[in-house]
């Protein structure tokens, strides 16, 4: 198995604002835990319905060219 350390380093720098030295000093277990904590589960049906109720479309204002 090949580990994508270079890609992970870019994520650490761009997404989390870590310095390269901080990334390389981090234990693999901690890095994988950090990645796991930010995974999006997406919207379930109820959350979608809640958002639609909170921000309903009103008429044609959301239609292109109107």
Domain ranges of the chain: 5-54
pLDDT at res. 17: 93
What pTM does this model have? 0.54
Q: Give the residue, 21 or 48, on which the prediction is more confident.
A: 21
Backbone angles phi, psi at 63, to 5 degrees: -85, 145
Q: What is the arithmetic mean of pLDDT over 15-42? A: 89
Which structure tokens are listed for 8? 């992970």
Rounded to an integer, what is the distance from CA 11 to the centroid of its chain? Answer: 11
pLDDT at res. 24: 95
Instruction: Please list the alpha-helical segments (H only) found in the chain.
Output: 5-14, 20-25, 28-37, 45-54
- For the chain, what's the residue count? 66
Q: What is the percent of the chain with per-residue pLDDT over 90, rounded to a whole number? A: 42
Given phi > 0 = left and psi -120 to 50 = alpha, else beta, which region is 13? alpha
């Amino acid at each position: 198995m090949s580990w994508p350390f270079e890609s992970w380093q870019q994520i650490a720098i761009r997404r989390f604002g870590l310095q390269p030295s901080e990334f390389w000093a981090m234990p693999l277990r901690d890095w994988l835990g950090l990645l796991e904590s930010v995974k999006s589960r997406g919207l379930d049906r109820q959350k979608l319905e809640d958002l639609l109720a909170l921000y309903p479309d009103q008429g044609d204002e959301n239609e292109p060219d109107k």
